[in-house]
Structure 1
């Protein structure tokens, strides 16, 4: 949450005097719907990825915005979780997004705790419908049933010293039931690598994870993950850039078979999103379920509550072939 506020302040400062006034909180509104507007862009490919569609999402609803995690539930249904403690379910097909439903994810008893709304990642089990949420600040993993009820929680010891605003930014349940969690910050001021954790099964089972490291170049930081049909993993990353737009985005790819105790997990850059592609603070990543390639990839951005940032939704298609 503190990182989100810092980014909001940075954006507001970069945009000149008076911006803080225009970044005032919206009035409470739980009734407004979501409007999706298709964006035209001359960019049809980003590296090996084909751009299928881009939309800007808008709403006055208090529960809208701040999306930091995204999952594809099947049958074209998507679910986005926000760092404001809310969720958005919608359908996404060839014609674009529709059928938006917004709801709070908060637990009244739990909500009294600081950082209890700061959901930074979400993953799920397609078979049971169970979902897992990762909370930054609390450095906690929460499991809920398919109806998003009956929460169970754990604060893994391996994440205890991850800090208040540099915690579990990306989490993924693999098809073989293992779990990966990536930390947002590097191991130290002068470190090149980020810490990661790998559980053999559900973190709430209480077993200790394998600790490993991973590296992404050029000041990028991980924000989300999604698994591909062949088992490889996509890692979404973004960085603060000088000038405007403030954010630059990249996709990296790695094989979880290469994760080992105290070793560096090798990641390779797949694509980098830069102007004239419409960039923003992309933090949510999902791959449509399927058995093979080509795959459809979705990304959603966190608007940080800033007037001049946007909630963007992007659909990409990839044949699975790495660039030369």
Structure 2
């Protein structure tokens, strides 16, 4: 009898039987995005500095739309409008109201096209990891993993304009593709692999003299060396000479952490290995998750750094969104601000003495 029951159960799992299927529930297409304020350190809410980053605000970002999450890159557009890209090919946009902790005019929508047609396995097929925008033309570029390629989209992501699968990216690890992408002031593009080894050290990166989504565009190779034990997840220009770089690490012993560093554009040369200088470390007890997205803006003379995390669509992780001010100084010693008194960095967990640029 037990064997018969097992066979009948297997039959109902494997054989399509229409009369046992109920109505398919409607898809949740909610466009609502909620911002919940967070502090940098819940153990000490007065702590506001990590390395050369001064904490100005932070939020836990949520939505009941199941397509929301997995933030891998983002753009900071004028008037505090943010465009985030999930690694499942979903765009998330909103205007930040810092005073009221609100996401104004939010939207959640899929990319119009990608390496594979949308289906129930879109998260695996549309592993979109990097995002660029040209404000002069309104065009966007997206870098994909798995099917390593660079795609260009028209203004407002209305349509796909071009796609390129460079030969130089074909042998990159499946999960180690175009993790970061920047456009230099002279019009060239840099595309960074997360984990494709470079023969001279570090990991591979590519220099495109023209549009990387153009199928005729062929890049030249160089290397980038992240801080030891870390992998690059995003990069953004500070000015016409320097670039801010975001790195993450996870170990069973230490958990998750992130390092923000500064690199010099002059070091990104064909055949060379570029290195950046760490300026801040985020690790427990500081609020941190799988930090993957980075953007840079200006407020007057101040450089503002925005970070966001990829929750991997996991109930055990969070989509965090941080705002920092980049502190000035040639040699910065991390300081923890506690109740109006500065303490040396090293004295508190989560802080370290760091050399800046």
Q: TM-score band (shorter)?
A: 0.7 to 0.9
Aligned to 2:17: none
Does residue 286 in structure 1 map to residue 292 in structure 2?
no
Which structure 2 residues correspond to residues 1-324 of structure 1 after superposition, within 5 A?
28-31=27-30, 33-40=32-39, 41=41, 42=45, 43-95=47-99, 96-99=101-104, 100-107=106-113, 110-111=116-117, 115-151=124-160, 152-187=162-197, 192-205=201-214, 206-243=216-253, 246-288=255-297, 293-322=301-330, 323=332, 324=355
Q: Return the index of the structure with the highest Cα Rg.
A: 2
**Does structure 2 retain, via aligned residues, the 8 Å contact 1:134–1:171?**
yes
Deviations 1:221-247 (A, max 9, x none): 000111013431111110112346x31
SS at 1:54's partner residue?
Answer: strand
CA distance in 2, matches of 1:181, 1:34: 31
Superposed CA RMSD in Å reads 2.4
Deviations 1:271-322 (A, max 9, x none): 11112210100111001257x7311111111001111100000001114434
* Aligned positions, number: 296
CA distance in 1, matches of 2:220, 2:67: 36
**Does structure 2 retain, via aligned residues, the 8 Å contact 1:116–1:135?**
no
Q: Which runs of 4+ in 1 moved over 4 A?
A: 112-115
**Does structure 1 retain, via aligned residues, the 8 Å contact 2:196–2:204?**
yes
Unaligned 5+ residue runs, structure 2? 1-25, 333-354
Deviation at 1:108, TM superposition (A): 8.2
| Closer/same/farther in 2, CA of residues 109 and 175 from structure 1, 3 Å limit | closer
SS at 2:157's partner residue?
Answer: coil
Unaligned 5+ residue runs, structure 1? 1-26
TM-score, normalised by the number of residues in structure 2:
0.77
Deviation at 1:133, TM superposition (A): 0.3
Deviation at 1:112, TM superposition (A): 5.4
| Closer/same/farther in 2, CA of residues 304 and 36 from structure 1, 3 Å limit | same
| Closer/same/farther in 2, CA of residues 204 and 104 from structure 1, 3 Å limit | closer
CA distance in 2, matches of 1:106, 1:150: 6
CA distance in 2, matches of 1:157, 1:186: 14
**Does structure 2 retain, via aligned residues, the 8 Å contact 1:210–1:260?**
no
CA distance in 1, matches of 2:204, 2:324: 29
CA distance in 1, matches of 2:291, 2:92: 16
